[in-house]
Amino acid sequence: MAQKPTREFAVIKVKHVTVSADTTLGAVIALEVDGKNEISLFMVPEVLASLEAMLAKASLEQARHHPVQ
């Protein structure tokens, strides 16, 4: 399988997260990147759920390595 091109951005700030009350629409995450540009990520509910699960796993792993003192 051919490798897909990847674009990397240094995210400076999460501008906003909007989750639709309509369960079929998903969410939008707006990020500020280098150069004061913004990127908006539009996610269907399944992708949002997958991202939430990945972030939860990452948070647990980070807590194991850096316990609260």
pTM for this entry: 0.76
Kindly tell me the number of DSSP H helices and DSSP E strands found in the chain.
Answer: 1, 3
Task: Please give the order of strands across the beta sheet that includes 37-43.
Answer: 11-19, 27-33, 37-43
Q: What is the pLDDT of residues 29-69, one digit of tens each?
A: 999 999 889 999 999 999 999 999 999 999 999 999 887 76
Q: Using the structure block, give the residue that is written with the tokens 């995210």.
A: 11
Which one has a higher pLDDT value, 36 or 6?
6
